[in-house]
Chain A
Amino acid sequence: MISQPRQLRRTFLLAVLLFVGGMLALASFTLWRLHDDAVSNGLEISAMHTRGFEDFLTQSLHVTELVAITASEHVSNTRELSLIERSFVSTLSHAPFLRSMSMLNEQGRIVVSSNPANVGKVVDTQSYLPAVTERQEIQRIGAPWSGRDFADGRVATAQAPVEADAASFIPVTRNLTVGARRVTLLIALNSDYFINHISQKLEANEGEVEVMRFDGTLLMSTALSEQPGSMHEYVQSDLHLNEIESGKFEESNQHKKESLSSFRASRLYPFVVVTHLNREYALQNWRTEAKTLLAVMGPALLVIVGLAIAFYRRQLQLAEQRLEAERLHRINATVFDASAEAIIITDLNANIISVNATFTAITGYSAEDVLGKNPRILASGKQSTEFYEKMWNAILQHGIWQGELVNRNKNGNQYEAHSSITVFRGVDGEVQHFIGVISDITLRKQAESELRRSNADLQRFAEVTAHHLQEPARRLASYAERLAKQLAGRIDDEDTQKSVEFIGSQARRLKILLGDIERYLAADQARGKIEPDVRKILDRVLDDLSEEIERAGAAITVGELPSVLVDAPRLVDLFEVAIGNALIYAKPTQEGVPLSITIEGEVKAGRVHYRIFDNGQGIEPQYRERVFKVFERLTTSGEGTGVGLSIVRRISENAGGSAWIEEAVGGGCAVCIDLPIR
């Protein structure tokens, strides 16, 4: 059970890892596929450009060849060089891709040219491709020249190619047979024308295009750094033009950086076009797509993981709550089973749905015996219908009822039970269950009964003892007095005199003590009727105490005395003890001031509050509670027994009140008695 959150954490981490890993794998696969597509597309675009350029160049060269053939007709019609030159100039005006048109004699010297400056220049065409026999009439391409035309140019070689940025042109020748003559037309192709055309289709940042002869000699290039005339070995070594005419490849080298390249050999002439599409450019869209994908997927992944963490934490919290709930449930179950009291749980219709083990121990009924039944099967029939009505009213009104009743167990034996029934409400406040707790109090009841009987016996014994001691005490006192009278004037030694006095005083004290004990024992029960006129009772007490009052020279003041719920004899005892105590113990603190005792009362919050106070020396705070204990005195004055205030408290408490001592105004002692009002 404890490992549940740990297991949850493991599952969660695994799930998150799988999800994140899966998403990353999916993204990587997608990007890889997109990259692959982008490369394929790049190669396709490269091939498309190559095809277009090759086609354009081939057609241009084909047009050049046609121009040459057309020009040959002029050559055949006339031997006038000026006319031929004019014809060449005229032809050139319609062919911007031609820089000059010349005619070579058999020694390779230019005899006539659209550019008169070219005349006389010897041009070696032996190395022009394709290599031919003397009689073949085909167009051949030579190595490029630097310069604008033959007049100011020179042949570029692999060792001395055209300098970067310098002007160049490409010579082509066409052997022609004009009548019986064989002539060679030499045409300077305008490289710039083709470069411009290609550059319009493929900008510099998009890629570069190279045009090479089959032997690898660079004829022209859109790259400014490339030098026409230079030798590109890979044409012969890698392109296998004798086997295939076109192809695509990825390349990465120092010169071309990374590029998606394609080549295509001319179907008519010995040159090949190679397009190097800038790989960076070709993958630009793919990069944007990748960034967009990651920009969308990254935050989405974070949000999903965040939500998953929040969900996990909630689940963890719920799991912990579940564990805690289970723990509490187990504790409750243990308490339920281990309880020393029988517990019954019923549904709303008071049908028993669960009982604990103690229930079986107390009632003798097993759980199977009572499940689905009403708890009234426990009833003994001792309680009236009215009792149960009151019980149910209390349960439904206050949610709880407690009380004692007599039940019957499975064997038919009766037992006394203390029972409490509590309402269990659902979260909506509606009553769902009743929970009954029953304790078998038969033994306790028996013990209480025995204790009551024992206390009663003891009380009776004490009463009888006190009563029986009264008589010898009275006789002792009588005879002591009689002895003292008889010996009066006849005793001449102090010791005998003191002995007689002590006998008399101790006998009197014994009698008073026994009287107080009797009153103390009788203080817990009413001994007569209630007298509503309390003043009448007080007057009787004052009359009884008149001798003592006179002896003490005390002034008595009586205030209002509300009626109380105490029978007259005990009220007499209360006043007699309280006033008697003041007469015995109170000594006025101011010299010449007589003892003053006030008895008054008032109604406070529906109860009667009597105060009997004097102008004596009062009682120190630490003794104010002690004096209520039996036989506790604060002085050695012979008349006090130490029982008086115990009688006051016992009567007050038995009548539903209380008694205590306060300091009176002026420092005297005030006996306060709180009693229920009549």
Chain B
Amino acid sequence: MSDQKFVILLAEDELADAYLVKTALKENNILAELQHVVDGREALEYLQRKPPHYAQAVRPNLILLDLNMPRMDGREFLEAIKLEPTLRDIPVVVLTTSEVERDVVSSYGLGAAGYITKPIDVVDFMAAIRDLSEYWIDLVHLPDTENK
């Protein structure tokens, strides 16, 4: 792991769910910077560093992606970043509402790095985020395609 801060981009329109993710990171003492956007289009603007809001945006190490969002949903976002060579290597973990939805989405073969089903139990959700962070922050050292 480098000395640089680990940055997570969260694309989630539901404020309650975004709050849960934020809280989970905090309570698990995960030292990651969370950037929150409310739909796929804003997430793409963030990655493409579109002014005026995202001119200085930091490239995330991981993207947490909700599926049902306004304007551009999770599936459209995945298709869009696949077409951009500098973005397609950023791992994307998809947040799904149910196991059924998870199976359906994974069947599309959109190239998600993993899935988290949003649990009803807040404690479970906290655990899931903790496991996810451990895996992606501590174990996986990803190549930086942007600076190649």
Task: Show the binding face of A for B, using Cβ within 8 Å.
Answer: 495, 498, 502, 505-506, 623, 631-636, 638, 642
B 1-24 to A, binary, CB cutoff 8 A, 1 in contact else 0: 000000000000111100100010
8 Å CB contact of B70 from A495, A498, A506, A632: A632
What A residues does B15 contact at CB under 8 A? 502, 636, 638
B14, B15, B16, B39 — which one has the most chain A CB atoms within 10 A of its CB? B16
What A residues does B13 contact at CB under 8 A? 633, 636
Query: How many A-B contacts are there with CB distance less than 8 Å?
Result: 24
What A residues does B68 contact at CB under 8 A? 631
Complex Cα gap A632–B14 (Å): 14
Given A634-B71, A636-B38, A636-B39, 5 other A-B contacts at CB below 8 A?
Answer: A502-B16, A502-B19, A631-B68, A632-B70, A642-B70
Complex Cα gap A638–B16 (Å): 11
Nearest chain-B residue to A506 (Cβ)?
A: B16
8 Å CB contact of A634 from B14, B23, B70: B70
Task: Show the binding face of B for A, using Cβ within 8 Å.
Answer: 13-16, 19, 23, 38-39, 68-71
Nearest chain-B residue to A631 (Cβ)?
A: B68
What B residues does A634 contact at CB under 8 A? 70-71
What B residues does A506 contact at CB under 8 A? 16
What A residues does B71 contact at CB under 8 A? 623, 634
Nearest chain-A residue to B26 (Cβ)?
A: A495
B101 to chain A, nearest CB (A): 13
Complex Cα gap A633–B14 (Å): 12
**Contact yes or no, A495 B23, CB < 8 A:** yes
Complex Cα gap A598–B140 (Å): 57
Complex Cα gap A642–B15 (Å): 16
**Contact yes or no, A635 B70, CB < 8 A:** yes
What B residues does A633 contact at CB under 8 A? 13, 70
Q: A633-B70, A636-B13 are in contact. Are A498 and B39 (CB under 8 A)?
A: no
What B residues does A505 contact at CB under 8 A? 16
Complex Cα gap A634–B70 (Å): 5
A510 to chain B, nearest CB (A): 12
Nearest chain-A residue to B70 (Cβ)?
A: A633
B43 to chain A, nearest CB (A): 13
Nearest chain-B residue to A620 (Cβ)?
A: B71
What B residues does A632 contact at CB under 8 A? 70
A-B contact pairs, 11 of them (CB 8 A): A495-B23, A502-B16, A502-B19, A505-B16, A632-B70, A634-B71, A635-B70, A636-B14, A636-B15, A636-B69, A638-B15
B13, B68, B69, B70 — which one has the most chain A CB atoms within 10 A of its CB? B70
Complex Cα gap A495–B24 (Å): 12
Complex A-B, nearest 9 residue pairs according to Cβ-Cβ distance, in ascending order: A633-B70, A502-B16, A636-B13, A636-B38, A634-B70, A634-B71, A635-B70, A498-B19, A506-B16
What A residues does B69 contact at CB under 8 A? 636
Nearest chain-A residue to B73 (Cβ)?
A: A632
Nearest chain-A residue to B20 (Cβ)?
A: A502
What B residues does A498 contact at CB under 8 A? 19
Complex Cα gap A623–B13 (Å): 17
What B residues does A642 contact at CB under 8 A? 70
Complex Cα gap A16–B109 (Å): 77
A504 to chain B, nearest CB (A): 11
What A residues does B39 contact at CB under 8 A? 636
A234 to chain B, nearest CB (A): 118
What A residues does B16 contact at CB under 8 A? 502, 505-506
What A residues does B38 contact at CB under 8 A? 636
What A residues does B70 contact at CB under 8 A? 632-636, 642
B9 to chain A, nearest CB (A): 16
Complex Cα gap A502–B16 (Å): 6
Complex Cα gap A632–B16 (Å): 19
Complex Cα gap A502–B14 (Å): 10
What B residues does A631 contact at CB under 8 A? 68
Complex Cα gap A557–B16 (Å): 37
Complex Cα gap A635–B69 (Å): 9
B106 to chain A, nearest CB (A): 21
B137 to chain A, nearest CB (A): 24
Complex Cα gap A636–B71 (Å): 10
Complex Cα gap A98–B23 (Å): 171
Complex Cα gap A638–B38 (Å): 12
B44 to chain A, nearest CB (A): 14
What B residues does A638 contact at CB under 8 A? 15
B139 to chain A, nearest CB (A): 30
A623, A635, A636, A638 — which one has the most chain B CB atoms within 10 A of its CB? A636
Complex Cα gap A562–B39 (Å): 40
Complex Cα gap A636–B70 (Å): 7
A537 to chain B, nearest CB (A): 30
Complex Cα gap A495–B20 (Å): 10
B21 to chain A, nearest CB (A): 13
Complex Cα gap A427–B39 (Å): 68
What A residues does B19 contact at CB under 8 A? 498, 502
B23, B68, B71 — which one has the most chain A CB atoms within 10 A of its CB? B71
Nearest chain-B residue to A637 (Cβ)?
A: B70
Nearest chain-A residue to B12 (Cβ)?
A: A636
What A residues does B14 contact at CB under 8 A? 636
B22 to chain A, nearest CB (A): 10
Complex Cα gap A253–B68 (Å): 124
Complex Cα gap A631–B70 (Å): 9
Complex Cα gap A407–B68 (Å): 52
Nearest chain-B residue to A503 (Cβ)?
A: B16
Complex Cα gap A636–B37 (Å): 11
What B residues does A636 contact at CB under 8 A? 13-15, 38-39, 69-70
B34 to chain A, nearest CB (A): 16
B27 to chain A, nearest CB (A): 9
Complex Cα gap A633–B38 (Å): 12
Nearest chain-B residue to A635 (Cβ)?
A: B70
A646 to chain B, nearest CB (A): 14
What B residues does A502 contact at CB under 8 A? 15-16, 19
Complex Cα gap A632–B13 (Å): 12
Nearest chain-A residue to B71 (Cβ)?
A: A634
What B residues does A635 contact at CB under 8 A? 70
B23 to chain A, nearest CB (A): 7
Complex Cα gap A592–B14 (Å): 30
Nearest chain-A residue to B38 (Cβ)?
A: A636
A69 to chain B, nearest CB (A): 148
B70 to chain A, nearest CB (A): 4
B51 to chain A, nearest CB (A): 19
A469 to chain B, nearest CB (A): 15
Complex Cα gap A647–B16 (Å): 27
Nearest chain-B residue to A642 (Cβ)?
A: B70
